[in-house]
Structure 1
Amino acid sequence: MRRPRLSRVLGSFRRIVARVAHGPRGRWRTPKVTPVPADTRRGLPQLPLDVLESVIGYLWNDHRTLAACALACRAFLPVVRHIIFNNVRLTHAPGFSEYCRFTKLLQDSPRVALSVRSLHISLDAALERATLPKALPRLHEIESLTINFGGGMFEMDEDTREKLPTYFRLVKYLRIENVRFDGTDLLRVLCACPELRGLSLVAVRWRRSSLLPAFTPDLAAIVPPRQVELDELTLKSPPPQVVAWLVKGPFRLALRNLELLWDGGSDAKYVPSLFRAGGQSLQHLTLAFPGWFSFKDAVDLSSNTRLRALHLSHICIDGSQPRLLYVPDPVPLKTYEWVPAALARLHSMHLAQVHFSIELVKGGDLGVLDWDAIDAHLSRLAREAGGLVTTFHVGNSDYSGKRYNVVDAVMYRLPRLRAVEGRVGVVYTHRPKVEECWFP
């Protein structure tokens, strides 16, 4: 097949252009130009920054679209950077280290550090020693910090100890998990947070001789540069030295929220002091004493007269747990005495909710609780407060179901509470079934 000549191809192209470009009389048409507004020539109309933040904020969980916005307009970049890096979660473990990649990002783009407000770091104790991450001084805008040390022994070198005030300059909420301390490093870390408002210590151990008193002169000598006032405190099986230092030390405890989990592994001598320190400022309280010993003397809520919500948690009723402890004579266990004791001395006209979290394990029976005392105290609180909402969340982890109706069993044991003003609710969870009942 012969190829068309170049002259023929060019001629055909000229004819097509002539049909499109020439007018009906064969004359060349001058394209009509629409005048462009001055604002459009200068660029997009300028919108207030708060409007841009509100519009882009709807894409907070779509990082791909946020990245496209950052590339589309330079004005979007600070807003997108603030959304993506506002809450950062990092893991530092063998074979997978988000922390190392993040530190490299901080070196390449230092402005990222200005957007980080909340940081959660999980460290693996097998990878390196448990110490403060070196990247913290660069992240000087952090307000909420969580460090999980993976159960290692905390070690702080002299260089870190000297630069400690630069690590937590604006931290308001600090959470420390799974770590063992030796010496006074923990208290020095707390004193290095001048803006601290909320503190959480979860599975924190202190290697210190049990023969020494809980509050010694070396602990009393550790004070922050200025007074720190705590309004939120979470303690889960804390060392008694830490509790004694918080109660007697330089911190001012104006607690609004208190969450206390005490497993009986340490002395509860200073627990009543926490309730007294909260006083009338305490509004939300969560208690749990899952041990074999009696803690009824430690639970004194008589000074918390403005309490609004009370949560009695981790009430684990184990059917395989013995009722008697042989030491060497049989002694009845007083595991659940703290439940009615938490209600006995409480007087609050602002109380709006009381919540019970009960877990039945291995055929546990609800009858082990002192329901007569619980019903008497709850009915009194309902009359004093008026409109009290009481809820019982009962869970059953056994595969075999209970022989009796748990919802009716709880309601049957609360005749006085059902007779006063307020609401009573029972939620029984036995997967895959969930039963719920409210009165009235």
Structure 2
Amino acid sequence: MSRGTQLPRLPWELTDAIIDHLESDSRALGVCGMVCSEWLKRSRHYIFSTVQLWPWRVRDFVHLANSKTSTIPFHVHRIELDDSRVRKQSTENIQFCDTLSLLQLPCITSGVKSMSIRNVDWTAFSPTEQNHARERLAKFQHLNRLEFDNVVFHDLREVVRILHSFPLIKYLKTDVNFMKYREHAVASAVTLRLPASLKCVEVGPSDDAIPVVLSCISACAANAGNAEPHVERLSIRGIKVDHLPHVRHTIRKAGSYLHRLTLGLDNLPLEAIEKEDLSALKFSRLVHLRHLIIEGLQLSPKSGILKSTLPRLLSRLESPFLQLIELDFVFATGKSRGDLATDLEQLDWQQLQRVLMELHFFGLRRVAMKIRCQKGSNENATPGLEDGLRRAMQRTRMAFKDLDGRGVLDLSFVQC
């Protein structure tokens, strides 16, 4: 090769696409970062985009971030804090309040947009410490996503105070518990106002969060005008029997503003679903709904959830904007060596198909159905069971041949 010949080079668009494809492979990203300075910038964007600041890591990270030659903090967009991730017999474990104090560096606070706080007892702090913690959190002025996982508060007021510290907040996750009795926590929640910028709320699965947070959302919707901003995406997981009245009330009050609704019934027994009658939920209020997800629907050959409960519930949808319905079923058999395929074929899908076809006629674009099959505790996966599930899938797809023929149905089976 002559001295003037240039080595072949890939265009930056292609190398960026390759690095983007490796976003979840930290080892490969580390290798890419050693190629050249341009690859290093792109790789660091993914390697350090999320930083898990467990108590024994905080001091080293702050020392690195405070270095004049370090460029890593400018790539950090999400911070995860977990007070339970301590190292035994370590002197480097930093408590939550002290962690927030150490993170008060402009290079950190200016770039972080998402924060997760886990396993923290806020009630263990004195009133002065709570004020200091809230003031330090407020330094993250670009934060738009805040997640609380297993965090204990006195009531919802402190959560709302924290939210109002962030002018750009859009997403809130509340897997929280409250020290006050539920009646008192709900009574104070209905007097609170959520930030106008908040668009997405994920509630649960903690038992306290669902009634308290939903009461606040319902009160905000009832007291606000149609022209004011509202929560548009609501996810409720871990719904139990005593939560259903709160869910029903929230849909009645705030349903006309919702674009996406997720209902997780994983902890709700089949008998309770049929007794409470899910069709009593005011789905007719969801006039702007685009995406509906219902998880944890328990199937049984003897249950009426396919013949009556679910069809009646979905038939009340009147949104002209509806694009997608996702239904997640759990099919459990008590037989230690039961034939899942045979049991699945006994289910009557015709009423559900009829309702879904009607919704498709009025604009529904896609239906995604997942059936999670639970084997008996003593039954091992065998090739015969796999073949039986495939036959059941084919038989089930025949029941939905109209939806499937129109390219609307996405059906999948999962063994768990």
Q: Amino acid of the residue matched to residue 179 of structure 1?
A: V
What is the DSSP-based 3-state SS (H/G/I as helix, E as strand, rest coil) of the residue aligned with 1:229? Answer: coil
Does the 8 A contact of 2:81 with 2:118 survive in 1? yes
1:41 match? none
State the distance in 1 between where 2:398 and 2:39 align: 61
Does the 8 A contact of 2:279 with 2:310 survive in 1? no
Stretches of structure 1 lacking an aligned partner (at least 5 in a row) = 1-50, 324-331, 432-440
1:302 match? 284
Q: Amino acid of the residue matched to residue 381 of structure 1?
A: L
State the distance in 1 between where 2:210 and 2:95 align: 19
Q: Amino acid of the residue matched to residue 125 of structure 2?
A: M
Does the 8 A contact of 1:236 with 1:261 survive in 2? yes
The correspondence for 2:178, drawn from 206, 209, 212, is 206
State the distance in 1 between where 2:248 and 2:160 align: 21
The correspondence for 2:197, drawn from 223, 229, 234, is 229
The correspondence for 1:376, drawn from 351, 354, 362, is 354
Counterparts in 2 of 1:267 and 1:192: CA distance versus 1, 3 Å: same
State the distance in 1 between where 2:359 and 2:297 align: 21
State the distance in 1 between where 2:162 and 2:280 align: 28
Offset at residue 421 of structure 1 (A): 5.3
Does the 8 A contact of 2:117 with 2:149 survive in 1? yes
2:154 match? 182
Q: Amino acid of the residue matched to residue 374 of structure 1?
A: L
1:77-129 per-position Cα deviation (integer Å, ceiling 9, x unaligned):
8777656433323334xxxx333432332344586544321222333177789
Q: Amino acid of the residue matched to residue 317 of structure 2?
A: L
Offset at residue 381 of structure 1 (A): 0.6
Does the 8 A contact of 1:418 with 1:424 survive in 2? yes
Q: Does 2:228 align with 1:269?
A: no
Q: Counterparts of 1:76-225 in structure 2 under 5 Å? A: 84-92=47-55, 97-109=56-68, 112-124=72-84, 131=96, 133-134=99-100, 135-138=102-105, 139-140=108-109, 141-149=111-119, 154-157=123-126, 158-162=128-132, 164-167=134-137, 168-183=140-155, 184-202=157-175, 204-212=176-184, 214-216=186-188, 219=189
State the distance in 2 between where 1:273 and 1:80 align: 47
Offset at residue 201 of structure 1 (A): 1.9
> Considering only aligned residues, what root-mean-square deviation do their CA atoms show, in Å?
4.3
State the distance in 1 between where 2:241 and 2:292 align: 24
Q: Amino acid of the residue matched to residue 373 of structure 2?
A: N
Larger Rg: 1
State the distance in 2 between where 1:182 and 1:119 align: 24
Q: Counterparts of 1:378-417 in structure 2 under 5 Å? A: 378-385=356-363, 388-398=365-375, 399=379, 401=385, 405-411=391-397, 414=400
State the distance in 2 between where 1:56 and 1:381 align: 42
Counterparts in 2 of 1:53 and 1:159: CA distance versus 1, 3 Å: farther
State the distance in 2 between where 1:422 and 1:81 align: 41
State the distance in 2 between where 1:268 and 1:129 align: 41
1:278-309 per-position Cα deviation (integer Å, ceiling 9, x unaligned):
55553333222231332626632223233333
Counterparts in 2 of 1:222 and 1:233: CA distance versus 1, 3 Å: closer
Counterparts in 2 of 1:207 and 1:239: CA distance versus 1, 3 Å: farther
State the distance in 1 between where 2:14 and 2:53 align: 27
State the distance in 2 between where 1:124 and 1:240 align: 27
1:53-90 per-position Cα deviation (integer Å, ceiling 9, x unaligned):
996785565235425745xxxx9987776564333233
Does the 8 A contact of 2:289 with 2:322 survive in 1? yes
Q: Counterparts of 1:17-56 in structure 2 under 5 Å? A: none
State the distance in 1 between where 2:124 and 2:294 align: 36
Q: TM-score, normalization: structure 2?
A: 0.68
Does the 8 A contact of 1:229 with 1:253 survive in 2? yes
Offset at residue 378 of structure 1 (A): 1.4
State the distance in 1 between where 2:193 and 2:103 align: 22
State the distance in 1 between where 2:307 and 2:405 align: 25
State the distance in 1 between where 2:149 and 2:347 align: 32
Q: TM-score, normalization: structure 1?
A: 0.65
Does the 8 A contact of 1:295 with 1:337 survive in 2? no
What is the DSSP-based 3-state SS (H/G/I as helix, E as strand, rest coil) of the residue aligned with 1:248? Answer: helix
Q: Counterparts of 1:304-343 in structure 2 under 5 Å? A: 304-317=286-299, 339-343=310-314
What is the DSSP-based 3-state SS (H/G/I as helix, E as strand, rest coil) of the residue aligned with 1:358? Answer: strand
What is the DSSP-based 3-state SS (H/G/I as helix, E as strand, rest coil) of the residue aligned with 1:354? Answer: strand
What is the DSSP-based 3-state SS (H/G/I as helix, E as strand, rest coil) of the residue aligned with 1:230? Answer: coil
State the distance in 2 between where 1:99 and 1:272 align: 44
Q: Does 2:319 align with 1:348?
A: yes
Q: Does 2:29 align with 1:62?
A: yes
1:237-288 per-position Cα deviation (integer Å, ceiling 9, x unaligned):
3242222123324996634433221431753333235435655553333222
Q: Amino acid of the residue matched to residue 85 of structure 1?
A: F
State the distance in 1 between where 2:231 and 2:250 align: 9
State the distance in 2 between where 1:162 and 1:316 align: 47
- Which has more helix, going by share of residues? 2
State the distance in 1 between where 2:144 and 2:174 align: 14
What is the DSSP-based 3-state SS (H/G/I as helix, E as strand, rest coil) of the residue aligned with 1:228? Answer: coil
Does the 8 A contact of 2:248 with 2:281 survive in 1? yes
Which structure has the higher relative contact order (CA within 8 Å, separation 6+)? 2
Q: Amino acid of the residue matched to residue 57 of structure 2?
A: E
What is the DSSP-based 3-state SS (H/G/I as helix, E as strand, rest coil) of the residue aligned with 2:235? Answer: strand
Shifted more, 125-134 versus 107-116: the winner is: 125-134
Number of positions where the alignment pairs a residue of Structure 1 with one of Structure 2: 354
Counterparts in 2 of 1:422 and 1:83: CA distance versus 1, 3 Å: closer
Does the 8 A contact of 1:205 with 1:239 survive in 2? no
1:45 match? none
Identity within the alignment, %: 16
Counterparts in 2 of 1:81 and 1:382: CA distance versus 1, 3 Å: closer
State the distance in 1 between where 2:264 and 2:29 align: 39
